[in-house]
């Protein structure tokens, strides 16, 4: 289809490219530029811009990152992100499945019930969570009244509390894409499989899983990436004892006024994540090709 004979396609592409170039490419290039500047003042574009100063900046800012502090924070953030994503997947997958199997009239309602809690401000929700699991909070009160524990559990300010908070924040980001894909899985397909003699497990492995894989990937992306950056969850539920990479970046930008270094960390983070995701994507593609006949 040539562009002339397809005005819709032209218009669509124009809108998309226009939007992304102005609002994504330009700011991104700006960030990369800042990350290459040697000065660590709060100035965005001060000083001369010769190639040698940019190279200097590159060495200073990116070189600084190779240190045990940053590497450990990065590793820790990856770890937390991974666990959060896994838990969300384990909880969300069956959940999305069950919603998609409910009666069609009920489905939109159930979906809405999932997302409505998230229309209260997330900070307030974290706060409510805190009130629940605090030493003098509701959970401890109930447990003690029931005689299940003698002394209150110190649940707050632990890494576990951070993970619980993250899962709580990000669960719908896993459920919604999964639901969108499950909804496509028609009953006749599944019944056909059963008629052909496949039992539950085989149906799952060979039909359901591959067909829902795009949804899984979507959900993983939508949970894993934000999880690494939610610094306020780490602050409020973790007592800031286990900073995430998002905390570090915020610290560099706001507390240290070191915009150049903060920008460098962000760029690095993006590159590393892109690399990891590319590797993952390649491996999933192989998996898919193996499955489709």
Q: 110-129: which residues touch other proteins (CB under 8 A)? A: 110-125, 127-129
**Interface residues for other proteins in 8-27 (CB under 8 A)?**
8-9, 12-13, 15-17, 19-20, 22-27
Q: Which residue from 37, 80, 173, 223 is in contact with other proteins, where contact means CB under 8 A?
A: 173
Cα separation, 133 vs 137, whole angstroms: 5
Candidates 52-60, 82-90, 191-199, 270-278; binding stretch for other proteins (CB under 8 A): 270-278
By the rule CB under 8 A, 276 interacts with other proteins: no
CA dihedral of residues 75, 79, 81, 85 (deg, nearest 10): 150
Rounded to a whole number of angstroms, the minimum distance from the CB of residue 31 to other proteins is 5
**Interface residues for other proteins in 184-243 (CB under 8 A)?**
184, 211, 214-215, 217-218, 221-222, 225-226, 229, 232, 235-236, 238-241, 243
Cα separation, 213 vs 218, whole angstroms: 8
Q: Which residue from 53, 56, 60, 257 is in contact with other proteins, where contact means CB under 8 A?
A: 257
By the rule CB under 8 A, 285 interacts with other proteins: no
Residue placing its CB nearer to other proteins in the complex, 42 or 283: 42
> Any idea what DSSP says for residue 49?
-
Residue placing its CB nearer to other proteins in the complex, 124 or 148: 124
Residue 151, classified by CB atoms within 10 Å of its CB into exposed (0-12), middle (13-18) or buried (19+), is exposed
Tokens matching residue 130? 């805190």
**Interface residues for other proteins in 81-100 (CB under 8 A)?**
91, 94-95, 98-99
CA dihedral of residues 123, 128, 132, 135 (deg, nearest 10): 60
Q: At a CB cut-off of 8 Å and minimum separation 6, what does 269 contact?
A: 74, 228, 245, 249
Candidates 50-58, 143-151, 177-185, 190-198; binding stretch for other proteins (CB under 8 A): 177-185
SS3 102: coil
Candidates 49-57, 79-87, 180-188, 190-198; binding stretch for other proteins (CB under 8 A): 180-188
Rounded to a whole number of angstroms, the minimum distance from the CB of residue 86 to other proteins is 16
Cα separation, 211 vs 192, whole angstroms: 15
By the rule CB under 8 A, 290 interacts with other proteins: no
Candidates 49-57, 78-86, 191-199, 254-262; binding stretch for other proteins (CB under 8 A): 254-262
Candidates 49-57, 78-86, 201-209, 252-260; binding stretch for other proteins (CB under 8 A): 252-260
Rounded to a whole number of angstroms, the minimum distance from the CB of residue 201 to other proteins is 13
Asked whether 221 and 142 are in contact (CB, 8 A), the reply is no
> Closest by alpha carbon to 155, among 165, 170, 145?
165
How many other C-beta atoms lie within 10 A of the C-beta of residue 3?
9
Interface characters, 126-165, with other proteins (x: CB under 8 A)? -xxxxxx-xxxxx-------------x-x-xx--------
Residue 218, classified by CB atoms within 10 Å of its CB into exposed (0-12), middle (13-18) or buried (19+), is middle
Per this entry, what is the length of the chain?
293
Cα separation, 166 vs 269, whole angstroms: 19
């Amino acid at each position: 289809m040539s562009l002339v004979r397809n005005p819709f396609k032209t218009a669509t592409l124009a809108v998309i490219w226009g939007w992304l170039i102005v609002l994504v490419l330009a700011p991104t290039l700006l960030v990369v530029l800042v990350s290459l500047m040697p000065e660590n003042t709060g100035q965005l574009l001060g000083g001369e811009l010769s190639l040698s100063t940019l190279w200097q900046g590159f060495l200073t800012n990116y070189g600084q990152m190779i240190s045990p502090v940053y590497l450990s924070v990065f590793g820790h953030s990856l770890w937390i992100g991974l666990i959060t994503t896994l838990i969300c997947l384990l909880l969300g997958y069956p959940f999305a499945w069950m919603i998609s199997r409910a009666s069609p009239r009920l489905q939109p309602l159930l979906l809405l019930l999932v997302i409505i809690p998230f229309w209260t401000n997330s900070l307030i929700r974290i706060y409510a969570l805190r009130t629940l699991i605090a030493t003098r909070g509701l959970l401890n009160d109930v447990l003690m009244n029931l005689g299940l524990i003698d002394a209150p559990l110190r649940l707050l300010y632990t890494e576990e509390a951070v993970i619980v908070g993250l899962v709580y924040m990000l669960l719908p980001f896993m459920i919604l894409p999964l639901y969108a894909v499950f909804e496509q899985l028609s009953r006749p397909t599944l019944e056909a499989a059963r008629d052909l003699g496949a039992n539950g497990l085989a149906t799952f492995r060979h039909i359901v899983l591959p067909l829902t894989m795009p949804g899984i990937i979507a959900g993983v992306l939508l949970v894993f990436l934000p999880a690494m950056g939610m610094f306020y969850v780490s602050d409020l539920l973790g007592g800031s004892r286990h900073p995430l990479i998002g905390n570090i970046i915020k610290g560099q930008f706001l507390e240290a006024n070191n915009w150049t270094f903060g920008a460098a960390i962000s760029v690095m983070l993006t590159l590393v994540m892109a690399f990891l995701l590319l590797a993952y994507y390649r491996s999933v593609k192989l998996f898919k090709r193996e499955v489709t006949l």
